[in-house]
Amino acid sequence: MARRFRARVVQGVVVALVVGSLGACGEPSDLASSEPAGPTKVRIVTEPALERTVTELVDALEADRSDIDLDVVAVGGDELHDRVLDANNDDKSENDLDVIVGSASAVDVLRAEQVLAGDPLVFGADMLVIAVPKGNPGAVEDLDAFTADAAPHTGICEPETYCGAVAENAFSRAGVDADPDVVVPDAIALLLRILSRELDAGLLFRTQAASQLEGISIIPIPEEYNRVQQFSVAAVRASPVIDDTVDWLASSAVAGEILSTHGLRDVPEEP
């Protein structure tokens, strides 16, 4: 009997030592949690027209912040609104969205529906400008260049296009009796004529003119004659990394420079 008791005691001691050793070493999950965390995934939803700009911004932010991994999803129209609603109402990972960049009107609708995690911030704006060939050879100063007796050779888009409709609205607000020399089918046709110096001036949106700054100069049109389209950025979910992303997109100097090159902020004046 004494031997059996002593054997059981020894066996118990061995088991206790093994369990204690495992506890000291830690469970596998504890070991994994001690490893450095990877970058935080942040998904940004935006409009197709802004995708190129937002992608360039994302590349710049990722170069500066190794702790953030950003994805850009571009959807249009009602889908932009619906995707943000789904992100709030669905736990599926494929519907996860963290930041929205879009027209101020679309973002304001989502704010009114109380599905955003913070107030929208100003991202950028687009508006009508006078685009002239680099160096402004026609000495164009303002909308008066588009009158019948003005010397510069000018053009606008067809009134049926958005570009043309906003141009007509600008003339009306400014009290200018416009009579441009040519009316072209769309903004691309007008841009090409300005680049080729067939025209001394044309009315385009700032984002359109900014796409060819190597060959075009921009003359602003006063806001009271203009139709300004604002764009906003807002957090869909709340977290320190998401808030940092929104603040960087809205207010960092690097983001401001990129937005200027795309015409969403004031384009730097030429020396």
Are the beta carbons of 109 and 96 closer than 8 angstroms? no
Residue 214 belongs to domain spanning: 128-225
For the entire predicted model, the pTM comes to 0.79
How many CB atoms neighbour CB 5 within 10 A?
A: 9
Q: What letter would DSSP give residue 237? A: S
In a domain, 32, yes or no: no
Distance CA 207, CA 225 (A): 18
Q: Please tell me the predicted confidence (pLDDT) of residue 37.
A: 66
Residue found under tokens 């300005």: 194
- 117 with 195, same domain? no
Instruction: Quote the tokens at residue 268.
Output: 């730097």
**Residue 65 phi, psi (nearest 5):** -125, 100
Are residue 107 and residue 147 in the same domain, yes or no?
Answer: no
Which of the residues in the chain have pLDDT under 50?
A: 1-33, 92-94
The H or E element that residue 46 is part of is strand 40-46
Number of domains present in the structure of the chain: 2
Looking at residue 27, its pLDDT comes to 45
Backbone angles phi, psi at 29, to 5 degrees: -65, -35
Query: What integer pLDDT is reported at residue 3 of this predicted model?
Result: 45
The HSE-up count of residue 220 (CA atoms within 13 Å, CB side) is 12
Q: What is the pLDDT of residue 2?
A: 44
Q: Residue 45: how many CB atoms within 10 A of its CB?
A: 22
Mean pLDDT score across all residues of the chain: 86
CB 232 within 8 A of CB 122: yes
Q: Are residues 142 and 254 in the same domain?
A: no
> Would you say residue 194 lies in a domain?
yes
Length of the chain: 271
pLDDT the model gives residue 36: 58
Same domain membership, residue 150 and residue 106? no
Residue 25 lies in a domain: no
Distance between CA 140 and CA 157 in Å, rounded?
A: 18
Q: In this structure, are residues 58 and 114 in contact, taking their beta carbons and an 8 Å threshold?
A: no
Residue 21 in any domain: the answer is no
Q: Is residue 74 included in any domain, yes or no?
A: yes
Q: Are strands 40-46 and 99-103 parallel, antiparallel or unpaired?
A: parallel
| Domain identity same for 120 and 250 | yes
DSSP state of 265: S
DSSP H/E element including 201? strand 201-205
Say yes or no: 120 and 233 in one domain: yes
CA 98 – CA 73 distance, rounded (Å)? 11
Same domain, 167 and 254: no
Residue 2 lies in a domain: no
Question: For residues 173 and 167, what is the distance between their CA atoms, to the nearest angstrom?
Answer: 10
Contact 234, 182 (CB under 8 A): no
Same domain, 221 and 233: no
Q: For residue 243, is it within any domain?
A: yes
CATH number, domain at 238? 3.40.190.10
Residue with tokens 């072209």: 184
Same domain, 117 and 193: no
Establish if 12 belongs to a structural domain: no
